[in-house]
Amino acid sequence: MDKTITNIIITALLALALGITGCTTQLASNISPTEQVVIVVTATSEPIIPISAAVEPTIEVILPAPEATAPASETTLENLAMGLNAEEAAALLFMIEEEKLARDVYNTLFATWNVQIFQNIAGSEQTHVDQIGLLISNYNLPNPTQAPGIFTDQNLQALYNTLITQGKQSLNDAIKVGGAVEEIDILDLQTRLSKTDNADIQLAYNNLLNGSYNHLKSFANTLSTQGGEIYSQQYLTAEQYQTILNSTQGNGTGQGKGKP
């Protein structure tokens, strides 16, 4: 093959190769058959990536960020309790354990002192436990009640332990413990009654309140007749206590009659 033609072919192939790799070429003008071909290479502004070093593209999947959720305990209660908010659901779980506390305390004090008022009112407290238990079942909530003297709520557990210790000191102390339990129950029921608009829960809480009013008057009367001591309120205000004493709801004898 003619040398000139060979040089032209080589030059064209070099130019083509350099163009593929991102470079531009400038050939010397006026190439004569006898002159050596000079190629001036000018680099482009873009980086040169050798073909051999090319990497296959990867696919990155970006998932949407998860939505923020409420604390697990509240979420669970609201999901389980159909028609209740988390606060109403938690109130039912607390109140059934508080009514159970009253029952357990009175059963223990009856076993200790063999005084009938404790057994009578313990029977009423079992009715209260059953009433709240029915609501808990209707609203698809887990019943937290355990064996006598055992409580899921640790504040109630501590209260129970303290009341039993006090109630075993003397009969009068035991009767005062009964009054304290009812006062605490009244305050807790009033608070939770004010925070629900569900008619069935309101009805149950009002029934329990009337029962606690009767029980408190019963303990006050018993302390006076059997213990020779005037009962003084321990958690209620003096005005609240006098209003309950002056009420006509129930007979206040501790016989478990009237509204439980």
In order, the DSSP letters of 94-158 are HHHHHHHHHHHHHHHHHHHH--HHHHHHHHHHHHHHHHHHHHHHHTTPPP---STT--SSHHHHH
Query: pLDDT above 90 covers what percent of the chain?
Result: 63
Model confidence at 209: pLDDT above 80: yes
Domain 72-246 is found in CATH 1.10.8.420: no
Question: pLDDT confidence of 60, banded at 50, 70, 90?
Answer: very low
- List, by residue range, all CATH 1.20.1260.10 domains of the chain: 72-246
Task: Find the range with the poorest average confidence among 81-85, 118-122, 177-181, 198-202.
Answer: 81-85
Per-residue pLDDT band at 193 (split at 50, 70, 90): very high
pLDDT band, residue 74 (cuts 50/70/90)? low
User: Does residue 46 carry a pLDDT above 70?
Assistant: no
**Which pLDDT value is given to residue 260?**
39
CA-based nearest residue to 184, from 69, 109, 105 = 105
- Tell me the pLDDT band of 83, cut-offs 50, 70 and 90: confident
Strands (E), the chain: 23-27, 39-43
Dihedral sign (CA 218, 222, 228, 233): negative
Count CB neighbours of 231 within 10 A: 21
- With beta carbons less than 8 A apart as the criterion, state whether 214 and 185 touch: no
| Confidence check: pLDDT of 252 > 70 | no
Q: Has residue 135 got a pLDDT over 60?
A: yes
| pLDDT tens profile 16-34 | 554 444 444 444 444 444 4
| pLDDT of 139 strictly over 50 | yes
Average pLDDT of the residues in 145-164: 98
Q: Does residue 202 have a pLDDT over 60?
A: yes
Q: How confident is the model at residue 81 (pLDDT cuts 50, 70, 90)?
A: low
Task: Share the mean pLDDT of the chain.
Answer: 79
The distance in angstroms from the start CA to the end CA of the chain is 121
Number of Cβ within 10 Å of residue 206's Cβ equals 13
pLDDT at residue 169 tops 70: yes
pTM of the model: 0.67
The predicted structure's pLDDT at residue 162: 98
